[in-house]
Structure 1
Amino acid sequence: MKLGLNLSFAIKRWIGGENMARIISEELGYDRVQFTWDLVDPSWPADTRDRIAGDYAQSFRKAGIAIESSFGGLASYTYNHFLAPTRDLRDLGKLHLRNAIDMTAAMEVKAAGMPLGSYSAADALDRQRREEIYREALEAIVELSRHAKSRGLETLLIEPVPLSTEFPSSAEDALRLMRDLDGATDIPVRLLVDWGHAMFPALFGDDANMDHWQKTCGEFIHSYHIQQTDGLLDRHWNFTRKGIVTPELLAEFWNRHGLTDQTYFLEIIYPFEQPDDEVLSDMKNATRLLRAVQ
Structure 2
Amino acid sequence: MSAGGPDTPVPIPFGINLGFCVKRWVTPELWTRIVRERLGFELAQFSYDLVDPMWPDAVLDRHAEAVRRETQARGITVHSAFIGLAHYTFNQLLHPDPAVRDYAEAWLVRAYRFAAMAGIPRVGGPLGAIAARLDGSEAEAIDETDYADLIARMHRLAERAAAEGLSELYIEPTPLRREWPWTIAQARRMMGDVAGSAVPWRLCPDWGHGTFEPLYGPDHGEMEPWFRELKGVITAVHVQQTDFALDRHWDFSVPGRVDPVDVAARLRRTGIAPAPVFLEVFYPFEHDSGSILTALETSSALLRKAFA
Please give the range of the TM-score, normalised by the shorter of the 2 chains.
over 0.9
* Deviation of the 1:208 alpha carbon: 5.4
Q: Any conservation in 2 of the 1:172–1:216 contact (CA below 8 Å)? A: no
1:95 aligns with 2:76: no
Partner of 1:20: 31
- Which of 237, 255, 270 is the equivalent residue of 2:250? 237
- Identity over aligned residues, as a percent? 37
Contact 2:139–2:177 (CA under 8 A) maintained in structure 1: no
1:157 lines up with 2:157 in the alignment? no
Structure 1 residue 221, shift from structure 2 partner: 0.6
Counterpart for residue 216 of structure 2: 204
Q: Unaligned regions of 5+ residues in structure 1, if any?
A: none
* CA distance in 2 between partners of 1:292 and 1:125 (Å): 41
2:184 aligned residue: 171
Equivalent-residue separation in structure 2 for 1:201 and 1:125 (angstroms): 16
8 Å contact from structure 1 (residues 30, 65) kept in 2 = yes
Going from structure 1 to structure 2, the CA distance change for 1:137 and 1:263 (only over 3 Å counts) comes to: same
My pick for the range that moved more, 103-112 or 248-257, is 248-257
Q: How does 1:214-293 map to 2 (within 5 A)?
A: 214-293=227-306
Shift of 1:149: 0.5
Residue correspondences, number: 293
Alpha-carbon distance between aligned partners in 1 of 2:289 and 2:140, rounded to the nearest angstrom: 46
Q: 1:116 — aligned with what?
A: 127
Q: Tell me the secondary structure at the aligned position of residue 242 of structure 1.
A: coil
Q: 1:216 to 1:129 in 2, by over 3 A?
A: closer
Gaps of 5+ in 2: 1-11
CA distance in 2, matches of 1:120, 1:261: 37
The answer on whether the counterparts of 1:83 and 1:133 sit within 8 Å (CA) in structure 2 is yes
Taking structure 2 as the reference length, what is the TM-score of the superposition?
0.91
Classify 1:128/1:249 alpha carbon distance in 2 versus 1 (closer, same or farther; 3 Å): closer
User: Shift in Å at residue 125 of structure 1?
Assistant: 5.6
- CA distance, structure 2, for counterparts of residue 33 and residue 277 of structure 1: 20
- 1:65-90 CA-to-partner distances (Å, cap 9, x unmatched) read 00101111110111111111111111
TM superposition score normalised by structure 1: 0.95
Q: CA deviation at 1:257?
A: 2.3
SS at match of 2:235: strand
- Which of 75, 96, 120 is the aligned partner of 1:85? 96
